[in-house]
Chains A and B, each alone.
Chain A
Amino acid sequence: MRKRVVITGLGVISAVGNSVPEFWDSLIEGKEGTKGITVFDPSSYRIKIAAEVSGLDPGSHFSKKEIRRLSRCDQFGIIGFREAWKSARLDQSPVDKRRTGVVLGAGSGGILSVEKYFRDFYQGSGRPSPSLLVSYSLATTTDLIAMEAHLKGPRSTTATVCSSSSVSMGVAYEMIQMGLADVMVSGGSDSLCEVSFSGFSSLKLVDPESCKPFDKRRQGLVIGEGAGILILEELEHAARRDAPILSEFLGYGICADAYHLTSPEPNGEGVERVIKIALDHAGVDPDEVDTINAHGTATPFNDIAETRGIKRVFGGRAGEIPISGIKSMVGHCLGSAGGIEAAATTLTLKNGIVPPTIHYEVPDPLCDLNYTPNHSIKKDVRVAISNSFAFGGNNACLVFGKYSSE
């Protein structure tokens, strides 16, 4: 028998809020997170916007020495972790640290710091500090979080970029199933950097104005950043320590398109398969799904493929299911996208509110589902799925349920 796994804590840093309450209020209000880039100088780029995290004072979280050593990605991850850990009341319950692990997803990780180093190094301007190079490994944020709370359980980092942090939750779930852990810290953290920004720009996948998922005017994604950290916990363990239970992690799916290095399989066949694998793993019938947190990058092809895939799974009922494209607000946070969206999905289940897809004005005949345009809706949600798709056709889907003790 599989163990039941529940979500007992959340932490979020995003362009629309630097804590879970602030993030959730912004989502249900439909707040815009896109703004001018300040993390690096965008003046030579045609596009100068991103969903950048603002209003976060590192000084109120870290010492000066720590700020020098921690990459932006590490800072987001640690702050998000602290919120999640506290909200799960793990700071108050004695847990076996050897059975508490960390699996995070990574995107560009601390490349911003490494960029700084190699910029100076290659351009011969001064002697860059080798401490910037610690961020060279995608594992750095994961290790730092483990160190923060002395967690001695299983530890790893997934690296499928745009689906990384969704995938990481699947792996964290399996650590519990394998009997190696009772509690797993999962999700992801990522920060803006020039390498990923210029890369997506070069592929002409970035919208110059705003992120408009499923809208006919959509031109692409807006790069975002932040952290979405979730505490996955074995149900009995959570019940024993009287932990707050926010949702149940019912199952997940991971599969490949085996189609193309950057384009999704156009007919939504890969999307269909991954949703079916996830529902099947969760033991949930498609008819039970009440809402979908879409990958919804707002690239022309992704949104069509995702729409088609959803129709293939849910048939005639597809148009009735409210779909959220929260990347319209928080941007595409790459390595933390799945974590932030899983947090939103959990909050949807807990609060009975489906966040909107903003900037939705002109319907696209090829994207003809209910995307919860511009305004959140109240709905009692019992089962919700969250989609994440990455370059190379790396698909992931997570299934969450409202927790009930039956």
Chain B
Amino acid sequence: MKDEVFKKNPHSTLGTPSSRKGHRVVVTGLGIISPVGVGREEFWKNCLRGASGVKPIQRFDVSSYRSRLGAQLPEIDFKAFIKPANLRRMDRIGRIMVSAVRLALDDSGLELGKEDPNRMGLSFGTGLGSSDTVDQFFRSLLRDGPTGATPLLFQTAVPNAISSHCSIEYGFKGVNITFSHKETSTEMAMAYACHLLREGRMHVILAGGGDELSEPLHHVYSMLGALSPGKGKGTEGMRPFDQERNGIVLGEGSGILVLETLEHAQKRRAKIYAELVGAGMAGSTDGLLRYDLDGDSIAQAMSLAAKDPSAVDHISASANSTPDLDRAESIAIRKVFKERTKEISVSSLKSMIGEFDGSGGIRACAVALALYHGMIPPTIGTQNPDPDCELNVVLHHPLKRQIRSALLNACSNGGSNISILFNRYVSS
């Protein structure tokens, strides 16, 4: 019956018999708009030199808060990426995401005119998408009552507006999905995209995510005591695995990966940064604002992702400078890798770009670049490594190292844990 359906339906997702075994999925383009650089080259150069994106927040008034730092994006000329007529209907996060997709497409060398738009998809992760627009909408509603509810703001305020902007801008008619699950939003988007590509249901999926700093978000995190040093002691800042770590600094930006089936990439002779192998996931239930405290679930996610832990050379840690997560992730890594732990180069890019729900896209771009170049970006800000976090952390200076496999970890407070395995691309 399935073969008949396939003949009748040009949109068939069943694919050819060979594809049913599963396609290999590769990373062929990177689009990055980050606090430490826009575009792959600038971003990577700054990552390797350990640049910090963390600065006093300028975009809104933080004078009434104890925590005043954020990893903000530089001023960006969006006209360089988006036609002026289209810019008008997008809010700031929409512009950031559409621009990151543009950068990723340019980097991949994909010629959209030659692609089947039905097989081009988007899979995004974000905390709230347009958190600034939601706030504007709400304030104007409070001020003016029902007449303050402006349709233009409302239509861009929904979390899936960013993926809609991108599908409209580039004409992608395939899968279009948005995840919002705190700090694991983007990793889920990549895991889902990888699965669809493996099954041959799409040829290309732009996967990744993004978020923006906004005053209500800063307020919420501040009131919940998550910001450094909202509750903790000492000075503010990101310092994963440090004894004095005392909370997060919020960041913003977007990272997009062009994921495609190896077959499709080879056909167009694409440059391949890395192979996306798969994901492991596990949940913990220690509390709504708690990370996995004993590291069991983080360990399980890593074990499910890395079927051969002996090939893992690098872990891009989820460690975000909070006392609980950095310790739990360290326990989890030691649990999985045991005596090999010291051979694994661990680094947290969040030390440079801050913490945000959609950060996984930028972090994944860095993992792909680390595999491609054989260089691991350092963790910055950390002065006195915590003995409770006994790991081989790449501190202050980049490390030159050929990596066979790398794990990208994501852990959310509330207890979702995802680990994604990338391999150095080897044709075989």
For B149, list chain A residues within 8 Å (CB). Answer: 198-199, 201-202
**What are 19 A-B residue pairs whose CB atoms fall within 8 Å in the complex?**
A118-B138, A118-B142, A138-B159, A139-B181, A139-B414, A159-B129, A159-B178, A160-B178, A161-B159, A180-B281, A199-B137, A253-B13, A255-B118, A256-B164, A256-B176, A277-B13, A284-B5, A394-B160, A394-B164
**In the complex, A223 Cα to B164 Cα: how many Å?**
22
Task: Verify B5–A279 contact, CB threshold 8 A.
Answer: yes
Task: Verify A122–B139 contact, CB threshold 8 A.
Answer: yes
Report A's interface with B, CB cutoff 8 A. Answer: 44-46, 98, 101-102, 106, 115, 118-119, 121-123, 130, 133-134, 136-140, 142-144, 146-147, 150-161, 167, 171, 174-175, 177-178, 180, 194-195, 198-204, 253-262, 270, 273, 276-277, 279-281, 283-285, 390-394
**In the complex, A257 Cα to B118 Cα: how many Å?**
10
Binds A, one of B24-32, B38-46, B167-175: B167-175
**Chain B residue at smallest Cβ distance from A177:** B195
Contact of A106 among B117, B142, B180, B289 (CB under 8 A): B180
A156-B188 CB under 8 A given contacts A255-B118, A280-B14: yes
Task: Verify A153–B282 contact, CB threshold 8 A.
Answer: yes
Q: Tell me, rounded to whole Å, the shortest Cβ–Cβ distance linking B64 to chain A.
A: 11
Q: Tell me, rounded to whole Å, the shortest Cβ–Cβ distance linking B331 to chain A.
A: 16
Which of B127, B134, B138, B173 has most A Cβ within 10 Å? B173
**In the complex, A204 Cα to B151 Cα: how many Å?**
9
**In the complex, A150 Cα to B281 Cα: how many Å?**
15
Contact of A392 among B164, B181, B278, B284 (CB under 8 A): B164
Q: Tell me, rounded to whole Å, the shortest Cβ–Cβ distance linking A284 to chain B.
A: 7
For B155, list chain A residues within 8 Å (CB). Answer: 203, 261-262, 391
Task: Verify B180–A101 contact, CB threshold 8 A.
Answer: no
Q: Tell me, rounded to whole Å, the shortest Cβ–Cβ distance linking A122 to chain B.
A: 6
**Chain A residue at smallest Cβ distance from B281:** A154
For A255, list chain B residues within 8 Å (CB). Answer: 118, 173-176
For B280, list chain A residues within 8 Å (CB). Answer: 180
**In the complex, A254 Cα to B163 Cα: how many Å?**
13
Which of B127, B180, B216 has most A Cβ within 10 Å? B180
B384 within 8 A of A: no
B122 within 8 A of A: yes
Q: Tell me, rounded to whole Å, the shortest Cβ–Cβ distance linking B195 to chain A.
A: 5
Q: Tell me, rounded to whole Å, the shortest Cβ–Cβ distance linking B338 to chain A.
A: 20
Task: Verify B285–A394 contact, CB threshold 8 A.
Answer: no
Task: Verify B118–A273 contact, CB threshold 8 A.
Answer: yes
Contact of B281 among A134, A155, A254, A262 (CB under 8 A): A155
B78 within 8 A of A: no
For A150, list chain B residues within 8 Å (CB). Answer: 285
A143-B118 CB under 8 A given contacts A134-B224, A199-B149, A280-B9: no
B80 within 8 A of A: no
B89 within 8 A of A: yes
B300 within 8 A of A: yes
Given known contacts A150-B285, A178-B191, A280-B9, what 8 new A-B pairs fall within 8 Å (CB)?
A118-B138, A143-B415, A146-B283, A147-B288, A155-B415, A160-B176, A273-B173, A280-B13
For B283, list chain A residues within 8 Å (CB). Answer: 101-102, 146, 151-155
B84 within 8 A of A: no
A159-B297 CB under 8 A given contacts A154-B282, A261-B89, A285-B4: no
Task: Verify A139–B412 contact, CB threshold 8 A.
Answer: yes
Chain B residues 202 to 257 lying within 8 A of chain A, measured CB to CB, are 216-217, 219-220, 223-224
For B289, list chain A residues within 8 Å (CB). Answer: 134
Contact of A257 among B173, B282, B357 (CB under 8 A): B173
Chain B residues 108 to 160 lying within 8 A of chain A, measured CB to CB, are 117-118, 121-122, 126-129, 134, 137-139, 141-142, 145-146, 149-151, 154-160
Task: Verify B146–A46 contact, CB threshold 8 A.
Answer: yes
**In the complex, A139 Cα to B129 Cα: how many Å?**
14
**In the complex, A195 Cα to B163 Cα: how many Å?**
21
**Chain A residue at smallest Cβ distance from B139:** A122
Task: Verify A157–B181 contact, CB threshold 8 A.
Answer: yes
Task: Verify B176–A394 contact, CB threshold 8 A.
Answer: yes
Task: Verify B168–A259 contact, CB threshold 8 A.
Answer: yes
A138-B195 CB under 8 A given contacts A115-B138, A261-B89: no
A256-B173 CB under 8 A given contacts A130-B224, A202-B150: yes
B304 within 8 A of A: yes
B314 within 8 A of A: no
For A276, list chain B residues within 8 Å (CB). Answer: 9, 11
Task: Verify A151–B285 contact, CB threshold 8 A.
Answer: yes
B65 within 8 A of A: no
B1 within 8 A of A: yes
Q: Tell me, rounded to whole Å, the shortest Cβ–Cβ distance linking A297 to chain B.
A: 15
Contact of A138 among B9, B128, B156 (CB under 8 A): B128
Query: What string of 1s and 0s marks CB contacts (under 8 Å) between B170-198 and chain A?
Result: 11111111111110110010011001000
Task: Verify B146–A201 contact, CB threshold 8 A.
Answer: yes
Q: Tell me, rounded to whole Å, the shortest Cβ–Cβ distance linking A169 to chain B.
A: 12
**In the complex, A332 Cα to B152 Cα: how many Å?**
21
For B416, list chain A residues within 8 Å (CB). Answer: 139, 143, 154-156
Task: Verify A178–B159 contact, CB threshold 8 A.
Answer: no
For B188, list chain A residues within 8 Å (CB). Answer: 156, 171
**In the complex, A283 Cα to B15 Cα: how many Å?**
12
Q: Tell me, rounded to whole Å, the shortest Cβ–Cβ distance linking B181 to chain A.
A: 4
B389 within 8 A of A: no
**In the complex, A130 Cα to B223 Cα: how many Å?**
6
B161 within 8 A of A: yes
For B165, list chain A residues within 8 Å (CB). Answer: 261, 392
Q: Tell me, rounded to whole Å, the shortest Cβ–Cβ distance linking A172 to chain B.
A: 11
**Chain A residue at smallest Cβ distance from B154:** A199
Q: Tell me, rounded to whole Å, the shortest Cβ–Cβ distance linking B292 to chain A.
A: 9
Q: Tell me, rounded to whole Å, the shortest Cβ–Cβ distance linking B367 to chain A.
A: 20
A133-B127 CB under 8 A given contacts A153-B281, A391-B164: no
B12 within 8 A of A: yes
B2 within 8 A of A: yes
Contact of A254 among B11, B14, B177 (CB under 8 A): B177
Task: Verify B5–A159 contact, CB threshold 8 A.
Answer: no
Task: Verify A258–B224 contact, CB threshold 8 A.
Answer: no
Task: Verify A390–B160 contact, CB threshold 8 A.
Answer: yes
**Chain A residue at smallest Cβ distance from B300:** A98
Task: Verify A159–B146 contact, CB threshold 8 A.
Answer: no
A156-B168 CB under 8 A given contacts A115-B138, A195-B138, A283-B5: no
For B195, list chain A residues within 8 Å (CB). Answer: 174, 177-178
**In the complex, A244 Cα to B119 Cα: how many Å?**
37
**In the complex, A332 Cα to B404 Cα: how many Å?**
50
For B13, list chain A residues within 8 Å (CB). Answer: 253, 277, 280-281
Task: Verify A391–B161 contact, CB threshold 8 A.
Answer: yes
Q: Tell me, rounded to whole Å, the shortest Cβ–Cβ distance linking A251 to chain B.
A: 9
**In the complex, A153 Cα to B282 Cα: how many Å?**
5
**Chain B residue at smallest Cβ distance from A158:** B179
For A157, list chain B residues within 8 Å (CB). Answer: 179-181
**In the complex, A159 Cα to B87 Cα: how many Å?**
23
For B170, list chain A residues within 8 Å (CB). Answer: 258
Q: Which 3 A-B pairs have the closest CB atoms?
A: A392-B164, A199-B154, A256-B176
**Chain B residue at smallest Cβ distance from A278:** B13
For A180, list chain B residues within 8 Å (CB). Answer: 280-281, 304
**In the complex, A139 Cα to B167 Cα: how many Å?**
24
